[in-house]
Structure 1
Amino acid sequence: MVITNGYKQNENERLIDIVNLTQLEAEAKQIIPAGGFGYITSGSEDEFTLQANRKAFQHRQIVPRSLSNIEKPQTDTNVFGIDLKTPIIMAPAAAQGLAHVKGEADTAKGVAKAGALMTESTYSSASIADVAAGGGGAPQFFQLYMSKNWDFNRSILDEAKKAGVKAIILTVDATVGGYREADIVNHFQFPIPMANLVKFSQGDGEGKGISEIYAAAAQKIGPKDVQRIIDYTDLPVIVKGIESPEDALYAIGAGAAGVYVSNHGGRQLNGGPASFDVLESVAKAVNHQVPVLFDSGVRRGSDVFKALALGADLVGIGRPAFFGLALGGADGVFSVFEHLNNELKIVMQLAGTKTVADIKHAKLLNIQY
């Protein structure tokens, strides 16, 4: 155990036994300090959208297919020209030092071991270089919270390019922070510096709340910003925070190489729809022009399957990786990905789908119970 500014950071490094990811959350709660756990797990306001993210997966049911003559389903896929062992990716998630002393560097190591894709947040506890080193050369994306200060944007994008990231994820649904009551109740302020803010003279995040962190973020983000980042980095730009067909088409029209359907895990606009409930309409509007990424509320292999069947190409997890990180460091993160991927394989077998491409043609029923 390491204590940083009075905050206890775990140093666990081990494979973990997992029954399910919901139970894993209960185990992690025992070792992550209350303020950090509240920040990681809470949503905005009365958490309607946070709860809807989980419930939404019940709105669709997988039609099992027998006599399908398959065995040993394969979860490997290729998206953005990158070969991956699984369509499950690490969603961009800030301040992973709240769960483990090595933070995102350990997450990257575990994700790489699983053959998955790592995405790093601007508000990471670890530097871009350290996260890249943790991944050992495995593919990574960098998520940008665009600042009002374009000098900051340039400097951090330069660092990301230097580290060899394959794409930039531009988050557009967090121009202000959602009203997160757990942070208020816990009087939560970030106890651990955010490495990218320290490096680029934007303060360090330590001792601030989420609203103070977002105060430096750009409040005006439009299609021209997408093109500006493309022109500056010469990298694919994926627009994250899309929840309507109209915005998906705006993003593609602006040059986006990917559309990321997400409501920020229920942490931003409360009262909005579950991401899963808008996925199909967004994917239909995109119509295979660019890859579709998805996150928010994923806890089961069946959730991953359903998202892929409704048009997602990659499916992200956030909070479960924090729990695995807290309990077992890099190996704990690997355990989470392996567990979820193994659940996915079981569902694929029972649904008569051999490959990720086959899942795209699986039939889902829409029956409300």
Structure 2
Amino acid sequence: MVMTNGYEQNENEKTLDILNLTQLEEDAKKIIPTGGFGYIVSGSEDEWTLNANRKAFQHRQIVPKALSNIENPQTDTTVFGLDLKTPIMMAPAAAQGLAHAKGEVDTAKGVAKAGGLMAQSTYSSTSIADTAAGGDGAPQFFQLYMSKDWDFNKSLLDEAKQAGVKAIILTVDATVGGYREADIINHFQFPIPMANLIKFSEGDGEGKGISEIYASAAQKIGPDDVKRIIDYTDLPVIVKGIESPEDALYAIGAGAAGIYVSNHGGRQLNGGPASFDVLESVTKAVNHQVPVIFDSGVRRGSDVFKAIALGADLVAIGRPAIYGLALGGADGVYSVFEHLNNELKIVMQLAGTKTIEDIKHAELLHIQY
């Protein structure tokens, strides 16, 4: 263990024997300090939307295809011009130092080993450069929480370009922080400095609550901001936090190179729909103009399959990878990706799909339970 400002950070580095990703959460709860675990696991208000994210996958069923004459399904895919070994990517989750002393650096190592795509957050525990170095040349995206201070934004974007990121993810559903009761109950304040904030007027994040961190965030974000970031960086910009066809089309009209369907893992607008329940309407509106990323509530290979069948090109996970990080560092993250990939391959075989492209043409039944 490492003690940072009175907060215990473990240093586990080991491969995990995973039964399922739900059990992984229970195991991680035993070793992540209460305040940190509460921040990671919780949703907003009474967590209706967080819970709906899991239940929504029951609204679609996969049709088995037994006479498909296939074996050894393949999970490799090409998205945004990147050749990946898996359609599963790491979501841009903040403050991973709460789970492990090496934080995002170890996450990047584990994702790279799995052949996946890493997205790092503005509110990372480790710097843009260090996180990029952890991936050792594997593709990474940088997620921007846009600040009211454009000089702050430019500095982060400059660092991200210098680090070689392949795209910018602009999060648009977090102009204010969701009302997260676990943080209030635990009197949670960030004990681990946020590396990307240290040299700016916002401070380093240490000793602040989530509402204070979000206070510096831009409250007004529109299509012009998407275009501004594209013009400044000359990088593809993916807009994250889309849950309506209208917003998807606004983003594409502003030049977005990708749409990221997400409700922030149920951490923002409580009472909003599960991300899976709006995915199909968004992908139909996008109509293959740009790739679509999906996250929120993914815990099974069948979840990944269903999301791709409804039009997602990449499926992101956040909390499960962080639990793997807590329990096993880089190897723990790799174990999570491998477990989910193995589940996905089983589903692909039983559904008669050889490739990720085949999944996109798979049949799903629509039955409400």
TM-score calculated relative to the size of structure 1: 1.00
Shift of 1:201: 4.2
Where do residues 1-369 of structure 1 align in structure 2 (5 Å cutoff)? Answer: 1-369=1-369
- Counterpart CA distance in 2 for 1:105 and 1:224 is 33
How far is 1:200 from its partner? Answer: 3.7
Contact between 1:155 and 1:200, CA under 8 Å: does it hold in 2? no
Count of residue pairs brought into register by the alignment:
369
Of 144-153 and 194-203, deviating more is 194-203
CA distance in 1, matches of 2:367, 2:150: 48
CA distance in 1 between counterparts of 2:48 and 2:116 reads: 30
Q: For structure 2, which runs of at least 5 residues remain unmatched after alignment? A: none
Q: Tell me, yes or no, if the aligned pair for 1:259 and 1:291 is still in contact at 8 Å.
A: yes
Letter in structure 2 aligned against 1:320: P
Ranges of 4+ aligned residues in structure 1 off by more than 4 Å: none
Q: Distance in 2 between matches of 1:64 and 1:248?
A: 32
Alpha-carbon distance in structure 2 between the residues aligned to 1:19 and 1:333: 15
- The Cα RMSD (Å) is 0.5
CA deviation after TM superposition for structure 1 residue 199, in Å: 3.4
Q: Distance in 1 between matches of 2:91 and 2:133?
A: 18
1:91-118 per-residue CA deviation (whole Å, 9 max, x = no partner) reads 0000000000000000000000000000
DSSP 3-state at the match of 2:246:
helix
- The one-letter amino acid of 2:316's match is G
Gaps (5+ residues) in structure 1?
none
SS class of match (1:260): strand
> Per the alignment, in what secondary structure is the counterpart of residue 199 of structure 1?
coil
Native 8 Å contact 1:276 1:307 kept in 2: yes
Q: Distance in 2 between matches of 1:187 and 1:211?
A: 12
Once the 2 structures are TM-superposed, how far is the Cα of residue 124 of structure 1 from its aligned partner?
0.2
- Whether the 8 Å contact between 1:283 and 1:310 is mirrored in structure 2 is yes
Secondary structure of 2:191's partner?
coil
CA separation in 2, counterparts of 1:179 and 1:254? 30
Q: CA deviation at 1:20?
A: 0.0
Q: For residues 187 and 338 of structure 1, what CA distance do their matches in structure 2 show? A: 36
TM-score by length of 2: 1.00
Residue by residue, what CA displacement relative to the aligned partner does 1:30-58 show, whole Å, maximum 9, x if unpaired?
A: 00000000000000000000000000000
Distance 1:198 1:77 in 2: 37
Matched residue SS, 2:198: helix
The separation in 2 between residues aligned to 1:364 and 1:207, in whole angstroms, is 47
Residue identity opposite 2:333 in structure 1: V
Structure 2 distance, partners of 1:171, 1:239, is 6
Is 1:94–1:121's contact at 8 Å kept on the other side of the alignment?
yes
Cα offset for 1:368?
Answer: 1.6
